Amino acid sequence: MRDMDAGCRSTARSGFARRAAWLCGWLALVVLTPLAAGQTLADRLNGVLRARQSLESATVGLHVRDAATGDELFSSRGQAPLIPASNMKLLTTGAALRVLGPDAVFETRFGWDGDRVVVIGQGDPGLGDPALLDRNDEPMTVDGLLDQLAGALASAGPGKASAIVLDARIFDGDRVHPDWPVDQLNKWYCAEVSGLNFHSNVLTFFLSAGDNGHGSPAVGVTPIVRLEPAVDGVGRWISIENNAKTVSDGRHTAWIARAAGERSANEFTIFGDVRVGASAGVDAAVHDPAAFLGSLLSERLGALGVATPRDGQGAPVVRPAGDDEAFERFRAAAVVRTAMRDIMSRANTDSQNLYAEALIKRIGREVTHEPGSWGSGAAVIRMLIADDLGPEYANRTTIKDGSGMSRDDRVAPDTLTAWLSDMYERPEIGPAMLESMAQPGAGTLRRRFTGEQIGNHVYAKSGTLDGVRCLSGYVVSDGGRAVAFSVLVNGITHGQQVRDALQLHEDVVMAIDAWLSSLPARAVERPEKLEAEAVGG
C-alpha cells in the first residue's frame, strides 16, 4: 500500500486514527462531505444490478460499507444469509488472526523418545507444501525435505527404531467433514485434515506418454507414472492401478480415483487419456495424512540404514500416539516451522481449503485447550462475531467448516463487510488481513479484472461452489480510504448466470473504484442509509 498524503493531520476518531497509523505512520483527518457530483454510489450500484437481468431467478446479496467508519453505503439483500463458498475463509482467517496473532508460528517436531521415532504436530497445513518450499531463500523439493528430515533423525538416533509414532492429537480424529461430497474426497480441495499434515495431504501423479520399449512414445500403451513425493513402497503400502492410455491427440484428461471412507487405504486408480507431448501433475488426496508422512519417513530412514518396523509384506509399520501417551524423553532432531503470514496467504490468495480447515481447528484448540474440532472452532468464530459485531450478526451466521466447502454454511453479505471493516480498524491485524488477500492478476484473481483500469487497490476473496459465485473484499485508495464489499450470488442454474455473476462481481468493484476515485482528497462520505433495488429471488 502506498503512503498517505503528507498533509494528513490528526483526528478525534480514535478508530480511524489507529488504522491510519499502520497505513502510513501519520494520523488522518476525516472530512465530512456530500456525495461527489454526478452519479451517487447508489446510482452506480443500482445500475450494475439492473444490467444483469439473467440473475433475476438467482439470489443476489450485495452490501457495501465504509471500512473506516463502519457506515453502510449500500445494501441489496445485505442481511440475507447465503452460501458463502470460499468467502467463509475470510471469517476463519480473521478469527485466526484474532486468536493466534499475526506472528504465530506452526511447528512440527521430529525426534527420538528413547528408541522410538516421534513426530509431534501442531496442525501445520504448510509442512512439505511445494508452493511454500519454492518460496524459501533456497528452494527445496518435497523429496529433498524428506531426505533432510530423515538425515537429521538418523544422525541423532541409535540406528534402530522400535516404533514410529505420529502425534496428531492437537486435533480431534475427525479428518473428513460430514458435509463434504463423498464423490469428491479424492480431490485436493477435500483433502483430509490432521494434526500432522504433509504435502497438502495429497500425492501428486506426474503422467507422461507410454514408452514403446525403445525410448519413444507409443499410442495406446499405459502411461508412465512418477510420484511426488517419491514412494518406494508401491504395491506394499500404496496401491496404484493404471487404467489410463496414451493418445496422440485430443485432451489430456487423466484423473485419479481413491476409495472413500475411514476404512479405505491409499489405493489409487488412474483413468483417462494422457496425450503425447503433454505432462501434467494430478493431485489425489491421501488417506490418513499422519500415517502417510510416517511411512515416507520410514522408507527414507531405511535407505540410510536405520532399521524401522515392517510388516510381513515389507510395508512400514507406524502408529498414532495413544490418548494418554507421553514423550518425557523426547529430543528434537529437527523442527519445521511455518509462519502465519504464509498460512494466511495460502488460505486467502490461493484458496487452499486445507489451510482454512487447519486454522478453524487450531483456534478451537487454542480457546478450549481440547483437541481442535470443527465444532469448537465454529463456536469461537461465532463468539467473536457476536462480541465484535453484535449478536444479530452471529444469529444470521451458520458455520460448519472453515473453508466453505459445506453447503450448509450461511453468511450474510453485511456480516462479511462488518467483519472486514472491523479487521481493517485493528492496526495489529489489519495489515496482515490485507496482505493475505488476492489482488487482480494473482492467486484466484489472476484471470479477473483483465483489461480493467482500476484506479485504487483491490484486495478480495473469491468463492465458488456449484450454483454459487461470490466475491468479497476491499477497495482501498492511495490515501488509505477503504470500502468493504460483499457480493454473494446463490441459485445459479446455467452458464449465462455464471458469466453474469462473475461480471457482476467486477462491475460492483469497478463502480466502487470509480466512486472512490471521484471523492475529494482526504474525504470520507458518511451518507444517510441508501435505498437499493433488489435483484434475484
Q: Where are the domains of the chain?
A: 1-82+439-537, 105-339
Q: Which residues of 340-379 are buried (b: 16+ CB within 10 A; e: fewer)?
A: bebbbbbbbbebbbbbbbbbbbbbbbbbeeebbbbbbbbb
Residue 325, C-alpha cell as written in the block: 501417551
Query: Hey, which bits of 9-67 come out as E strands?
Result: 59-66
Per-residue confidence (pLDDT) for residue 260, from 0 to 100: 65
Residues 161, 306: contact at Cβ < 8 Å? yes
SS3 call for 57: helix
Per-residue confidence (pLDDT) for residue 139, from 0 to 100: 86
Q: Are strands 163-167 and 319-320 parallel, antiparallel or unpaired?
A: parallel
Per-residue confidence (pLDDT) for residue 303, from 0 to 100: 96
Q: Rounded to an integer, what is the distance from CA 13 to the centroid of its chain?
A: 34
Please give the helix or strand (H or E) that residue 74 lies within, else none.
strand 72-76
Neighbouring C-alpha atoms within 13 Å toward the C-beta of 300: 24
Q: Rounded to an integer, what is the distance from CA 262 to the centroid of its chain?
A: 24
Q: Are strands 163-167 and 116-121 parallel, antiparallel or unpaired?
A: parallel
Mean pLDDT by 10 residues, the chain (537 residues): 34 38 34 48 95 94 96 97 98 98 98 98 98 88 97 96 98 97 95 98 94 77 94 92 91 87 77 85 96 98 97 94 96 98 98 98 98 98 98 98 98 98 96 97 94 92 98 95 97 97 97 93 47 45
Angstrom CA distances, 334 to 63, 114, 150, 396, 511, stand at 48, 16, 9, 45, 52
Q: Which residue has the cell 495460502?
A: 346
User: Rounded to an integer, what distance in angstroms lies between the CA atom of residue 400 and that of residue 407?
Assistant: 9
**Which stretches of 66-141 are DSSP H helices?**
88-100, 130-133
Per-residue confidence (pLDDT) for residue 259, from 0 to 100: 77
Domain 1-82+439-537 CATH assignment equals 3.40.50.150: no
Per-residue confidence (pLDDT) for residue 537, from 0 to 100: 41
Per-residue confidence (pLDDT) for residue 38, from 0 to 100: 58
Residues 487, 45: contact at Cβ < 8 Å? no
Looking at residue 534, its amino acid is: A
SS3 call for 54: helix
Per-residue confidence (pLDDT) for residue 225, from 0 to 100: 94
